[in-house]
Amino acid sequence: MTDMPIQKHWLETFINLFTLCKINPKETVAILTETQSRPINIKIAQQALKQMKIPFKTVCVTSKQSKCSPIIRSTGATNALVGENLVTNKLKNADMIVDLTVEGLMHAPQTPSILAAGSRIMNISNEHPDILSRLPFDLKLKQNVKDAVKMCRSSNDMHITSDAGSDLSVRMNDAVTVGVWGWTDHPGTLAHWPGGLVVSFPNTGATNGRLVFKPGDINLTFKRYFESEVICKVEDDFIVHIEGDGTDARLMQTYLEGFNDPLAYATSHVGWGLNKASRYESLSMYEKNDLNGTELRALAGNFLYSTGANEFCNRFTEGHFDLPMMDCTIELDGVAAVVKGNLV
């Protein structure tokens, strides 16, 4: 991977991204990396900024060993800045941060203060660059995401059902809703690429009901499609019971138990994907170390249920599941946004 040559279309895609982010030569730009970051993506980002004649500094911190027992994957909550107060303060002085950490700054404890300082963060998901370049930037997608955000912010309740038996209710009138279309050009905001989804972070005690995962649904922490049914009971935000006879239920139970942290069982965010360029089968087309699965978080028509960190409830934990569910119906105040996995 280190010696992989930069392909022209990869470089062009990164340049397109930075152009949409409105990076200009007068800004202070930092590329945040860690010792385990994907080398080819660092090289492409650096080359793209050089070609655009944008001055930048590359900041590299040592990847941290997690203090918990379970293996950390696809959390969106990097621990790269833990104990790195000097680096964090320097990032607060940057206009633009290109986030190339392994897990990403999305749910990191340091992120709220960095955004509050006015920095904007562009997380480039830890994916093979071929995956990134396959998902083009789309101004229509941006508008569709904005429309979904508006719908969520004006709603009191979200209700998720499925023929498999899911029946989940989420109080929305005090939720924090954000949309991600793949780039950011405003101070104090964060985006990730690939993009194309809307997510709401419910307030305390807002999420209750039952989720039934069926074969073909996706567990992005394990980077596998469900092969057996798993039933999760959710009370006041927390998964209180996991039921199932197959490997999927055992994996979820043992993984969450390993954190020895009640917050790992909490609801992080809920929402749905809007990116029609995302491919359902992509998880089976790449080696596990070549993808992070962000494409499937944005898969058009999915219901995305996630556990773990919810910074708006001041809940931070390394335990995290992103669980795109297929064929669900999502209603907001009785108005359907998704019907059996199809966007309305």
- CA–CA gap between residue 308 and residue 151 (Å, rounded): 24
- The encoded tokens of residue 86 equal 């000097």
Higher pLDDT, 330 or 78: 330
What amino acid is encoded at 271 in this protein?
G
Q: Can you give the pLDDT at residue 39?
A: 96
What amino acid is encoded at 337 in this protein?
A
With cut-offs at 50, 70 and 90, classify the pLDDT of residue 166. very high
Whether the pLDDT of residue 15 is over 90: the answer is: yes
What amino acid is encoded at 288 in this protein?
K
Q: What is the pLDDT of residues 43-95, one digit of tens each?
A: 999 999 999 999 999 999 999 887 777 887 777 778 889 999 999 999 999 99
Work out the angle between the directed axes of helices 39-51 and 8-20 (0-180°, nearest 10).
Answer: 60
For residues 95 and 154, membership in a common domain is answered with no
For residues 241 and 258, membership in a common domain is answered with yes
Q: Which of 248, 274, 334 is nearest to 135 (CA)?
A: 274
Q: For a pLDDT cut of 70, what percent of the chain falls above it? A: 99
Q: Which domain holds residue 64?
A: 8-133
* CATH code (residue 102): 3.40.50.2300
For residues 18 and 93, membership in a common domain is answered with yes
For residues 102 and 158, membership in a common domain is answered with no
For residues 160 and 44, membership in a common domain is answered with no
> Considering its fold, how many domains does the chain have in total?
2
The predicted model gives 94-122 an average pLDDT of: 95
For residues 52 and 167, membership in a common domain is answered with no
The predicted model gives 8-14 an average pLDDT of: 97
299 in a structural domain? yes
> Which residues in the chain belong to E strands, given as ranges?
29-34, 57-61, 96-99, 120-124, 157-162, 167-171, 176-180, 190-193, 197-201, 207-213, 218-219, 224-225, 230-235, 238-243, 267-273, 303-307, 321-325, 328-332, 335-339, 342-343
Taking the model in full, what pTM does it have? 0.92
User: What are the two backbone dihedrals, phi and then psi, of residue 191, each rounded to the nearest 5 degrees?
Assistant: -140, 160
Q: Which of 264, 167, 166, 164 is nearest to 221 (CA)?
A: 264
Side by side, the strands of the sheet bearing 303-307 are 176-180, 197-201, 267-273, 303-307, 321-325
1 in a structural domain? no
- 344 burial type by CB count under 10 A (0-12 exposed, 13-18 middle, 19+ buried): exposed
For residues 122 and 247, membership in a common domain is answered with no
- CA–CA gap between residue 277 and residue 251 (Å, rounded): 30
For residues 45 and 192, membership in a common domain is answered with no
Q: What is the pLDDT of residues 294-323, one digit of tens each?
A: 999 999 999 999 999 898 998 888 888 999
2 in a structural domain? no
Q: Can you give the pLDDT at residue 2?
A: 54
Q: What is the pLDDT of residues 239-286, one digit of tens each?
A: 999 999 999 999 999 999 999 999 999 999 999 999 999 999 999 999
Q: Can you give the pLDDT at residue 283?
A: 94
